Amino acid sequence: MAKIFDIFSFSNKDDSERKKPKEKVIVDYREKNSLIAAKLMKLGLDVEFQHLRVGDYIVKDVIIERKTVSDFVSSMINKRLLKQIESLKQYENRLLIIEGSENFLDEIENNFSIHPNAIKGFLLSITLKHKTPIIFTRNPEDTASFIDLIARKKEKEISLNHSKKPLNKKEQMQFILEAFPGIGPKTAKKLLKEFKTLKKIFNSSLEELRKVIGKKAENIYKLINEN
């Protein structure tokens, strides 16, 4: 007996086997040299490179900043990471990934001349003050697997029109003062609290500056009066 061709079952089978569209991950072009983009493609994700003003990866409604251990330490010391974390706060769902270590604090202690307590305090500030979750991954493949999980679980996409969060006037003044050698956030805040304006700081005498910040005053005074 000839086999009857069932057009209805064929149609259903064709629909079930139809490929679903790939989940898209937007990657900052500076991450092209990392192995993560290649891993994401291998996992079946649609990787699109763009110039991102904030973060390194955008997965639906999640913005991700990725740091290797060494980059985390250097960007913590030069305060670049704090500015990046502030920019991430424009997004409700944000994440910091620190990549490259199975035991983060041990690696810091063994390879960098910075006290582990300073690192712990900074991590606490990121999670508690800036409300940004942190994930530690062992390698690029591990990082890619986390991003893959996010891509397959999230549904909502976010706008790319966000820009870096503008500094308010007080932050702008502090930023200017921190450009002077040896002047950190605490010293800059002391100066602003005492003199109120940049003009008064720059017009003050060396002795007036010394009363507030001690020997560090010489750095500011010398640069202000340099020809």
| Per-residue pLDDT at 171 exceeds 50 | yes
**CATH 1.10.150.20 for domain 169-224:** yes
Nearest 5°: the CA angle 45, 63, 155 is 55
Of 55, 78, 59, 77, nearest to 67 (Cα)?
A: 55
DSSP codes joined into one string, 74-117: HHHHTTHHHHHHHHHTTSSEEEEEEES-SSHHHHHHHHSSS-HH
Domain ranges of the chain: 24-153, 169-224
In the chain, how long is the greatest CA-to-CA distance?
109
Per-residue confidence at 156, pLDDT binned at 50, 70, 90? low
Percent share of the chain, pLDDT over 70: 85
CATH code for the domain defined by 24-153? 3.40.50.10130
pLDDT-wise least confident of 36-40, 117-121, 172-176: 172-176
pTM of the model: 0.60
